[in-house]
Amino acid sequence: MSGTLGSPLIGTADARPGSGMASSVKAKSQTIAVGTTLPINSFLVGPVVPRGSVLLDVIVDSTDLDSNGTPLITMATGVAGTPAAYIAASTVPRTGGRMRADVVGALPAVMTADTEIRATVTAAAATAAAGTVTITVLFVPPGG
């Protein structure tokens, strides 16, 4: 059999539609190093979901970004103009852990343009701590 199969692996080039593996669910992931300055309304840029794709899930993994005994930081995840489109203000960055899409009715969503997924700080940390935030999206590419 000849031909090339698309790779469904995280971190590979944008998925392309086609038969077999190329038309299945894809994952794209972006890890962002976070310093000790993360003011309210600042955002972290994650993966771009291609135009025409159907976004199925958004997953955000965070280390502990607030070392205070009474942490305050919260984050939402969405798109430019709608920062909490997929994940409402989450307290997970206070201790570290995983957030998943929790906004009722938001997914699945068809992307009408190449769409950048962002995590936005909705409440600043009491004592900001350096760490990482990884944004992962699961989607079916156009024509899939």
Q: Where are the domains of the chain?
A: 25-140
**Nearest one of 76, 94, 93 to 85, comparing CA atoms:** 76
Cα 31 from Cα 132, distance rounded (Å)? 7
Asked if pLDDT for residue 17 goes beyond 50, the answer is: no
81 dihedral zone (left: phi>0; alpha: psi -120 to 50; beta):
left
Asked if pLDDT for residue 121 goes beyond 50, the answer is: yes
What is the topology classification, in CATH, of domain 25-140?
Answer: Jelly Rolls (2.60.120)
Cα 50 from Cα 115, distance rounded (Å)? 6
**Nearest one of 110, 112, 140 to 8, comparing CA atoms:** 140
Q: What is the pTM of this model?
A: 0.84
The amino acid that residue 24 corresponds to is S
Report pLDDT digits (tens) over 22-35: 668 999 999 999 99
Over residues 50-63, mean pLDDT: 97
Q: What angle do CA 69, 44, 47 make, to 5 degrees?
A: 135
